């Protein structure tokens, strides 16, 4: 098997943008979810394992609509979500698929699967060359506030990782999803590196289910 062409995490979408790329999560054949603070993608690539290598099976799209959450605040990163409609629906197959939105909140200490792309050598390529993942635990807001004393950790946010976190320099693609019975959170900020289990602040998706469910059929 040619790993670069055949192995993907099907719902992960590579949002190729400037100055930094982001992860999108495909929640519908025409729609993906990511953070509102991400720059608009120049190119949307589905079915990607190593973004620095183009493969014959990946699907490339533009966007036809961008719907940021109406109460997104760039200063506080509150309501840090945007829905992006593809210019053409994804062709679902073994390499490209959708992921459900979590419908129930996850208790503290439960584990989430978090995938993202990174650079095996610090930004040796323009695009990342490695797809990695980690299992991190949901922590309480009290623990999270200890880790981020200068941030207002709101009810619309959840924190995943270890406390206090090592916070060494690293480079990984932002907006990674936290997957626990579906998409439970989307990474909005981390002081450090989620793949190393540093505490990340995620937008808590369950708070936004009505907005997501209204956006898809009405656009």
Supply φ then ψ for residue 35, to 5 degrees: -90, 145
3-state SS record for 129-192: CEEEEEEEEEECHHHHHHHCCCCCCCCCEEEECECCCCCCCCCECECCEEECCCEEEEEEEECC
Answer yes or no: are the C-beta atoms of 161 and 170 closer than 8 Å: no
Strand duo 177-179 + 157-160: pairing:
unpaired
155 is catalytic: no
Task: Give the separation between CA 198 and CA 176, rounded to whole angstroms.
Answer: 13
Task: Give the separation between CA 4 and CA 131, rounded to whole angstroms.
Answer: 10
Q: Which residue has the tokens 């098997």?
A: 1
- Which residue out of 80, 127, 129, 198 is catalytically annotated? 80
37 is catalytic: yes
Hey, which residues are catalytic here?
37, 80
């Amino acid at each position: 098997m040619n790993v670069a062409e055949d192995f993907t995490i099907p719902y992960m979408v590579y949002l190729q943008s400037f100055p930094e790329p982001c992860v999108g999560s495909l929640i519908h054949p025409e729609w993906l979810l990511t953070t509102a603070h991400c720059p608009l993608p120049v190119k949307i690539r589905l079915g990607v394992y190593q973004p620095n290598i183009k493969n014959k099976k990946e699907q490339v799209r533009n966007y036809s609509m961008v719907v940021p959450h109406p109460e997104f605040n760039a200063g506080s990163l509150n309501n840090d979500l945007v829905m992006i409609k593809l210019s053409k629906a994804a062709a679902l197959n073994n390499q490209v698929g959708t992921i459900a939105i979590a419908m129930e909140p996850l208790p503290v200490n439960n584990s989430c699967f978090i995938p993202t792309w990174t650079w095996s050598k610090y930004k040796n390529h323009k695009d990342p060359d490695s797809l990695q993942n980690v299992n991190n635990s949901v922590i309480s807001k009290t623990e999270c506030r200890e880790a981020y004393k200068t941030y207002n950790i709101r009810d619309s946010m959840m924190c995943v990782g270890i406390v206090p976190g090592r916070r060494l320099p690293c480079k990984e693609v932002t907006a990674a999803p936290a997957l626990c019975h579906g998409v439970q959170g989307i990474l909005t900020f981390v002081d450090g590196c989620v793949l190393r289990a540093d505490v990340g602040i995620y937008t808590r998706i369950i708070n936004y289910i009505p907005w997501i469910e209204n956006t898809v059929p009405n656009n």
